[in-house]
Chains A and B, each alone.
Chain A
Amino acid sequence: MPPPLYLCVHLSDFAAQALARAHPELRSRALAVLSGDPPLERVFAINHQARRLGLETGMSRIHAESFSAVLLRRDPRQEHAGFAELMQCAGKFSPRTECIASPQEESCGATLLLDVSGSERLLGGPQQIATALRQSLHALEYEASVAVSCNAWAALLAARGTTGAVALAPRHEAETLAPLPLSVLEPDDEMAQTLAAWGIRTLGQLAALPARPLAARLGQSGIRLQAQARGEYRHLLAPAEEPADAPLCESIELEHPVELLEPLLFLLSRMLEQITGRAAQRSLAIASIELCLLVDANPPAPRSEDRRTEDRRTIRPAIPERNHRTLLKLLQLELELHPPVAAVVGLHIQAHPARPQTAQPGLFAAQAPEPGRLEILLARLRKLVGEGRAGSPELLDNHAPEAFRVNNFELGVCDRSGIVCRVPDANPSVANGQPMSLHPAPALASGTGQRTALRSLTPVLRMMRPPCAVAIELRANVPATLDYEGQRLRLQSASGPWRTSGAWWTHPAWSREEWDVALKEQPQRCLRLAHDPAGGSWYVVGIYD
């Protein structure tokens, strides 16, 4: 039986490489990839030009900005796409590929371990295989280091610690590995500290330590590290297999560009039927669909011969869905809301399956809408009122007016009592993030000066979105008349101003004055006016019922 042969591909700072591929103009410039939420972003990966400038991973954005490097946010989509290409390329050399580091694991690099045993006749000797794979990746504009060895982990360490394509001679792995720095073993902090204190800096020094005393000191992890350093570590390759929840894909290349929605929906219907059928075979439903429309871009993207560009959409039903018609309807509404920018020349659907909802509604549980229909309803509403304007409101911890955001309306987790609709605690008197339990306020600057008695009525405020711009006439800095709905209206009383301001540390800061006014004319109404002291504009922002 021929000895096993393993190949390792290592791409350091893969996140930066993937981004640079998407932005060819940046390849010659120093590039740093940032991750984390603003303002606490940190450098996640850098290219070698950036490293030469002195940038390091882990630097803060502010610090990184002080270097003349291009800073881009991490793009998981590019990374995943790039990694898929990487896997595809590796697949040409061996079907048995283990993923050691990938973007899914939040690693800035990518490392693959391939079992290329027995492929010498097909691909050549170890050195040839390594060189061929490296060249293949180079053609894809990736810089990788590749190592081949009879020992999988030795190949891995060599790939991490060297550049180019290296083939380790059988039974001489330890010699090749000896000068490599200890960091390629990636020991944990405590272990690294101990070894540094011992003066162990290379794999060779670690390999030379007596085994049993070392085991007595560092335990199993010490033994493992030493075996790795000696090129003797037996790694059991765990080839990546498609998991049960692997995405289901369907693609179509069109002979002629399609500009109308109807024929497109016809194609989509067929594709969705296929996908839902395949999901059903696995007893799964569809949790989300990513539709990629290849559109005929005009003019073509810079430095690209391909005139086609991608237009991506994602649909996430409230619960995993099996009915392809429901999915089609959702896609239809989405495409109606955001039509493609140009004629479609190709379709690609990637569907992510999930376990279907299995709980049964309780006998006495409140009637909830059928999830699929509810989703369609919500999609229709979004189409009607706009993106981000339909869903469940959530108040924000902020003094700012309109300090709320609209979240997707989601059905709650099913329990024994049936489907529970998870709706935020909605207080009917709250519509804009401020308490509306407004007892009649005293007129701070009341036109009449008459103070109203304390009452227990709780008025309700209807907010106007968008607010209605109005003209106001002031008397002694108090609104006196109002041009609203084409009429000049006199004000009986005005309470206010109610002042709020904030975010002074940003540009621009906000400030606002509000007045509660009562109209003199019939029918008597109470309105809420808002004034932007900086801009000088007046608005009616709400009506008290």
Chain B
Amino acid sequence: MYVELHARSAFSFLEGASLPELLMARCAQLEMPAMALLDRNGLYGAPRFHMAALRAGTRAHIGAEIAVCDAGERACPPQWVPHRIPPEPVRWALLAETQSGYQNLCRLITRFKLREPHKAEGSARLAEVAEFSQGLICLTGGGEGPLASALARGGYNEALREVERLVHIFGPHNVFVELQRHYDRAEEHRNQAAVAIARTLNLPLLATNGVHYATACEREVLDVLTTIRHHCTLETAGRLLAPNAERYLRAPREMQQLFRDLPEAIANTAELSARLTYQMSDLGYRFPAYPVPAGETMQSFLEKRTAEGIRNRYLPKHDAKLFARAQQQAQRELTLIAKLELAGYFLIVWDIVQFCLREGILVQGRGSAANSVVCYALGITAVDPVGMDLLFERFLSEERGEWPDIDLDLPSGPQRERAIQYVYRRYGELGAAMTANVITYRGRSAAREAGKALGFDAATLDRLSKLVSAWEWKDKDDSPGRDVQIAGQDAGLDLQHPRIARYVELCQRMQDLPRHLGQHSGGMVICAGQLDAVVPIEPASMPGRSVIQWDKEDCADMKIIKVDLLGLGMMAALQECLELVPAHYGEPLDLAQLPPNDPLTYRALQQADTVGMFQVESRAQMAALPRNHPTGFYDLVVQVAIIRPGPIAGNMMNPYMKRRRGREPVTYSHPLLEPVLKRTLGIPLFQEQLIRMAMIVASFTGGEAEELRRAVGMRRSMARMKELEIKLRRGMSANHIAPAVQDEIVQSISSFALYGFPESHAASFALIAYASAYIKCHYLAAFTCALLNHQPMGFYSPATLVKDAQRHGLRVLPVDVCRSDWACTLEKLHPSECHPERSEGPQHSTNLHCRPKGFSIREPCSQSSDGCPTFDAPFAAKVGKQHAGIEGAPHLPSFGRCGTNGTRYGNRAFALRLGLCYARGLRHDAAVALLAARRLRSFTSIQDLALRVPELRKSELALLANIGALNSLGEAGGPLKPSFGLSGAIDFERAAKPPSANVGSGRTTHRRDALWQVEYAGRPAGPLLNGITSDQIVFDEAAPDELAAQESAESPLQQMTVEERLVADFSGTGVTVGKHPMAFHRAKLKQMGISTAGELARLPHGRITRIAGSVIARQRPGTAKGFVFLSLEDETGIANAILTPAVYEEFKHAVVYENFLLLEGTLQNQENVVSLKARTIRPLGISRAEVRSHNFH
């Protein structure tokens, strides 16, 4: 029997070519009972390897190759042989024999990894290896091991001494002299010495194959990875490449044949494997205990906090029944929590939430945690699960044997970082860390790297990687290789050429191989005692962060609890609104007290006027909103959940919409399902409904139903799914449900094979969606300002957000060095510039809440007679009313798409000033220096600016001049007031101002004038002029100095044309605050028969129509059968277009690469949803402005 005890996987990052699962699958295929994985300096692949072994019924031994810096350098070819192999520390192959050995290995890796100031390989010291040697078995290694190194260094005697040192550290029973045979003369020479040393020291021999890949053909992939690692090409790599393809996983019989002269080396593998008793099922992981006051247990403490929370949450609702039900549910949950010993987990999350509340950081739980009343009572979530009748089993069940998953949404940016740092501080450097995110080779990266290895030039690589399709949708014949093939064809490559054919093949084989380790967006792992004994920790690229070597899937497999502290851009925007609204509008804003059922807000939602709003702004959401016609909060919950792959692919959206509009009767597959599906009009939309359906119709337990959900969810297993379906049908038969109905139910459950939302999660998101919609409708300036300050986020680019805000009447001012801050800000306009305000804003509660830091909407506090939750006074609309459509809704004031009439304060009181952060290429440090200098005194001229802010480079000054940010410099009494308005001002140039007014003043008249002056001011001053202030540099017009006179004269440069300004705006800031590029060509476009986006709604269904605009979004969703969706923007709004796969293929180049398009096709105008089914597409060369499109791949 032979066991392979020295193998590395692709998780040795560019030093191995097979995934751990593949290695283990091959091991099982070769009928090997066990196998060891020793990746380089880490246990990155160990969980996958372990799980694969469990599935395959084999055993996984865990170890690692550890670089030891003071044990010499690995053996290299002699100096007289030309090679580029860099010197590296020798690597010791260590195997975990026991749990303590595993823990020591984790600690050893953590120790040297964390010693590195930045993310780096690192290496251990001899003393550290000795310190953590207990429970570890040491192999003498192959060509990179200590024995080979010592032999190369000092011959046999040195090697003998080296092995003696290993014996001294690990003990004579824990050192094995390793032999590898790859049909290499030099290696065989080493083997001879190794055998002699083993005989001399009476050490056991151990045969291994030093596996680098599962099968011989993967040597090619390894060679490519080697070139990536060493930044060279296959042609120039030389001896860096493998000399042959022998490092594959050999069959036991093959190894026995290979080592038939040394049978004990083979026999010892089985013996050592038997000694390696440690399995990763026993990690020794414990979640940390929460420190509770004396006399309390964690459970009792949790119960008290829950009881308090229940009282605080439910008593104000004045609903005794609801309160009683909440208490009852809390008791049930607490019993289960006690049984599963999870009290500490809940308390720790509660602790984080408490910290956020104390610090004024918005926080809200999302996901299935919102199904728990305990979470609700602890303030972790904001949705009342009892009031909304949410299903607890979706969150936690006894049968599942899994840890619960609580995700917290925090404002992205520094606020979230503070919460993360709090966890680090609280649990220590070795007690908490982020989960990793394994970055793998995908289509584009594989195409690029494989091309580099084969020696393609940079231009070809760029072209290829751009052409590799990155759409979400894939044809059934699509494979990564086919993508590259198509890209290659488009790039003009000859696919028949052997090298190109090889390239395509390599791209395919590199897919999914790990490239490097990143950091998960927010998953934190916390451990009692020391996390470094459970999994190695290493520094992340980001300062102050550390990361474990496993990703979130690995953590779930290893049953490690993760708390997700996720950054949500919209939360950050809302947080900023909380400051902007009181500061500028003069009235407080409390997210916990937003008026529910605000007519303006719902009107905007019904009209799909939702650009910038959370979760309801996408093209698909906009298309569904008029049909859904939301009138209450629950409609919004449905709206958030319905545009998901699950409901769309399951064809649930259309039936729901028809029923919603009363065009189809509400029916149920079976009367038993009515209570479950009533709220969603008989259509299952949420995961909880699936679980409940299984529980009701087939008498599944909560755990079984959850298992069914998971089986049809993301990680489905066909075999298990079949078993569960049989069980489901058996249960339904027992409940006397007819076979036809059974089919229908099974069909609707199977529709969840694609991703769907849990109801609780949708409710949490709907809260944020409502808040964002409300703030946009009432405080547009603040909302837009906050959105622009937290880009990138959402569906649209800043340019589109600005244009949308402008169409709603908001004035947006350009970047201006005299006025702009680093971030975007609000400026109150002079009364003369303001249009008369409307005072008849919506009457809503201004009642302040004493809990401003938490984030929740005013909760539903009662339940209607039909079992659905209703909301207290402001949330008066009951579900029944909601379902009745607009009839039950109050009369709503008009809120036009392009108007501002309904906004409370009239947005024209405020203008939004773009911040310096929008000047692309301006460094933050330079901007800070500029702001500091400006605070002291206004800048009088560009010369003054350049002298007082030496941090500004000439290129930055030129950038600012190019985008018009210097236009107001030198204006007496402050910056010039720009000429606003959507109609007149092309730009904020002072074209109207006579140039003579600026002569001698150092003022600028237009952008080119500023550029002219920048070139003068930004030139390097000689030693004589260094330190001279602007006051000392005065051009005296009276002086007969010609240069001074000429400098004082107007700029000889011509003003930028409109097109030049547009190009400068988009390249310099990504946005333009002037007219939309399309507006400048409207007359001509009209002659061409092109309709504006605003006109489309008035055109009849079925008319052949032409539309044109800048492409702002391209989508090819996975669920849309190859259809492509384009969003085109013009000065009147956004028009949507649908492209069939055939049309896309025909006009692919224009669709993918052109910024401005003209589309002709049939207009589809039904139920207030307007789109164009395109027939022909052509580029519209009206501007060279680089309008950015948000492409969803």
Contacts and interface: CB of A to CB of B under 8 A. Distances in A.
Partners in one complex: yes
A425 B220 CA distance: 33
Interface in A416-439: 425, 427, 430, 433-435, 438-439
A121 interface: no
Contacts of A430: 80
Nearest to A511: B244
B505 to A, nearest CB: 10
Given A213-B1016, A217-B1019, A504-B223, A40 B457 contact: yes
B1056 A213 contact: no
B261 interface: yes
B82 A397 contact: yes
B718 interface: no
A89 interface: no
Contact of B238 (A40, A218, A396, A495): A396
B1052 A213 contact: yes
A63 B459 contact: yes
Nearest to B499: A505
B821 interface: no
A59 B456 CA distance: 12
Interface stretch (B35-43, B900-908, B994-1002, B1042-1050): B1042-1050
Interface stretch (A2-10, A375-383, A441-449): A441-449
Contact of A506 (B77, B156, B499, B1052): B499
A498 B186 CA distance: 10
A522 B1188 CA distance: 83
A395 B1053 contact: no
A499 interface: yes
A511 B1047 CA distance: 75
B78 A449 contact: no
A199 B78 contact: no
Interface stretch (A164-172, A204-212, A245-253, A485-493): A204-212
Contacts of A425: 80
A194 B1014 CA distance: 11
Interface stretch (B162-170, B486-494, B576-584): B486-494
A497 interface: yes
B502 A505 contact: yes
B1060 interface: yes
A446 B196 CA distance: 19
Contacts of B891: none
Contact of A398 (B238, B1011, B1047): B238
Interface string B665-693: 00000000000000000000000000000
Interface in A375-412: 395-399
A339 interface: no
Given A40-B457, A62-B457, A438-B189, A397 B1046 contact: no
Contact of A441 (B185, B239, B244, B460): B185
B238 A397 contact: yes
Contacts of A502: 241, 243
Nearest to A36: B457
A40 B245 CA distance: 28
SS of A interface (majority): loop
A441 B188 contact: yes
B958 interface: yes
Contacts of B1019: 216-217, 219
Contacts of B460: 60, 62-63
A435 B186 contact: yes
Nearest to B1019: A217
B1008 interface: yes
B962 A197 contact: yes
B38 to A, nearest CB: 24
B1031 interface: no
Contacts of B457: 40, 42, 60, 62
Contacts of A433: 81
A397 B84 contact: yes
Interface string A50-88: 000000001110110111000000000000000000000
B974 to A, nearest CB: 27
A198 interface: yes
A380 B219 CA distance: 46
Interface string B433-458: 00000000000000000000011110
Interface string B958-995: 10001000000000000000000000000000000000
Interface string B377-395: 0000000000000000000
A98 to B, nearest CB: 33
Given A213-B1016, A399-B243, A439 B261 contact: no
Given A40-B457, A213-B1047, A216-B1043, A63 B492 contact: yes
Contacts of B877: none
A220 to B, nearest CB: 13
A500 B244 contact: yes
A442 B192 contact: yes
A454 B155 CA distance: 12
A38 to B, nearest CB: 8
A507 B496 CA distance: 13
B1054 interface: yes
Contacts of B1153: none
A243 interface: no
B184 interface: yes
Contacts of A451: 261
A39 interface: yes
A67 B1042 contact: no
Nearest to B461: A60
A63 B1011 contact: no
Interface string B213-229: 00000011001000000
Contact of B1008 (A198, A213, A434, A438): A198
B455 A40 contact: yes
Nearest to A436: B185
Contacts of A449: 261
Contacts of A58: 459
B239 A398 contact: yes
B196 A454 contact: yes
Q: By CB atoms of chain A within 10 A, which of B239, B244, B1053 has the most? A: B244
A438 B185 contact: yes
Contacts of A435: 77-78, 81, 185-186
A518 to B, nearest CB: 15
B1134 to A, nearest CB: 33
B258 interface: yes
Interface of A: 39-40, 42, 58-60, 62-63, 65-67, 194, 197-200, 208-210, 212-213, 216-219, 395-399, 425, 427, 430, 433-435, 438-439, 441-444, 446, 449, 451, 454, 495-502, 504-507, 511, 513
A-B complex: 7 closest residue pairs judged by Cβ atoms: A66-B492, A397-B238, A60-B457, A499-B183, A217-B1015, A397-B82, A39-B455
Given A217-B1016, A498-B184, 13 more contacts: A39-B235, A66-B494, A194-B1015, A198-B1011, A212-B1046, A216-B1043, A395-B82, A397-B239, A442-B192, A444-B261, A454-B156, A504-B223, A505-B234
Interface of B: 77-78, 80-84, 156, 181-186, 188-189, 191-193, 196, 219-220, 223, 234-235, 238-239, 241, 243-246, 258, 261, 454-457, 459-460, 463, 491-494, 498-499, 502, 958, 962, 1008, 1011-1012, 1015-1016, 1019, 1042-1043, 1046-1047, 1049, 1052-1054, 1056, 1060
22 contacts: A40-B455, A62-B457, A66-B493, A197-B1011, A198-B1008, A198-B1011, A199-B1008, A199-B1053, A213-B1052, A395-B80, A395-B82, A396-B238, A441-B192, A442-B192, A442-B261, A451-B261, A454-B196, A495-B188, A499-B182, A499-B244, A500-B244, A505-B220
